[in-house]
Amino acid sequence: MFRHIALTAALFFAPTLCVAQDVFGTLTATIDGTERSWFLTSDGEQSQSHALTIAVANTQSFSLWGQPTADTVAEAKDSLLLQFDIMAVGGNTVPLNVTLTYLADGWASGWLANEADQTVFSLSTFKEVDGGLLVEGSFASTAYYSDKLVSGQVDPSQTKQINGRFSATLPEALLKVQ
């Protein structure tokens, strides 16, 4: 009897590993001479990453939120956030409003490139695939330090070069239409 109670208690208090996240892409970047990857993750319809189609403006807005590990969905600290818009013009895709944010200490402090001249952006793949939308490309950003990332205030005297690439197949659950 004691053995059954002890086993039940041990199972009850044992840590439970529940990995329901899906990894649907990566952001890979070199920061301070070190290359590393961040993971684009979702748990069903829950994700920090998404795409929004604004039909009236013929524009799609993307937010690719790279998580520091493949096991997280909503971590801010040590995350890499790439945001951009794509406008379809005469059969071509034109990238607009590119922003790169490295949340070194979450929203408390990090590095921000949110002006047009701070990032060179290239979109190499943009196509519908079975079950989602494939986007791939590269970026090279000169980011400014900020100890107030939420406000967007930066110190242009402190810069960091962040060069990288991205590849993601956003699942249909993360593709919204407005």
Q: What is the pLDDT of residues 64-120, one digit of tens each?
A: 999 999 999 999 999 999 999 999 888 888 999 999 999 999 999 999 999 999 999
Could you tell me if residue 49 is inside a domain? yes
Could you tell me if residue 124 is inside a domain? yes
Following DSSP, what letter does each residue of 102-114 receive, concatenated? EEEEEESSEEEE-
Could you tell me if residue 13 is inside a domain? no
141-155 in b/e burial notation, b at 16+ Cβ within 10 A? bbbbbbeebeeeebe
Percent of residues, the chain, with pLDDT higher than 70: 89
CB atoms within 10 A of CB 30: 14
* SS3 category, 172: helix
Instruction: Report the pLDDT value the prediction gives residue 20, as an integer from 0 to 100.
Output: 53
Q: How far apart are the first and last CA of the chain?
A: 60
Q: Does residue 19 carry a pLDDT above 50?
A: no
Q: What is the pLDDT of residues 37-71, one digit of tens each?
A: 999 999 988 889 999 998 878 899 999 999 999 99
Number of independent structural domains in the chain = 1
Q: How far is CA 8 from CA 2, 4, 17, 178, in A?
A: 10, 6, 17, 50
Question: In the predicted model, what is the mean pLDDT of the chain?
Answer: 87
Which structural domain range is residue 97 located in? 20-177
41-79 in b/e burial notation, b at 16+ Cβ within 10 A? bbeeeebbbbbebeeeeebbbbbbbbbbeeebbebbebb
Residue 31 near residue 58, CB atoms below 8 Å? no
Q: How many residues does the chain have?
A: 178
Could you tell me if residue 57 is inside a domain? yes
Average pLDDT over residues 156-162: 97
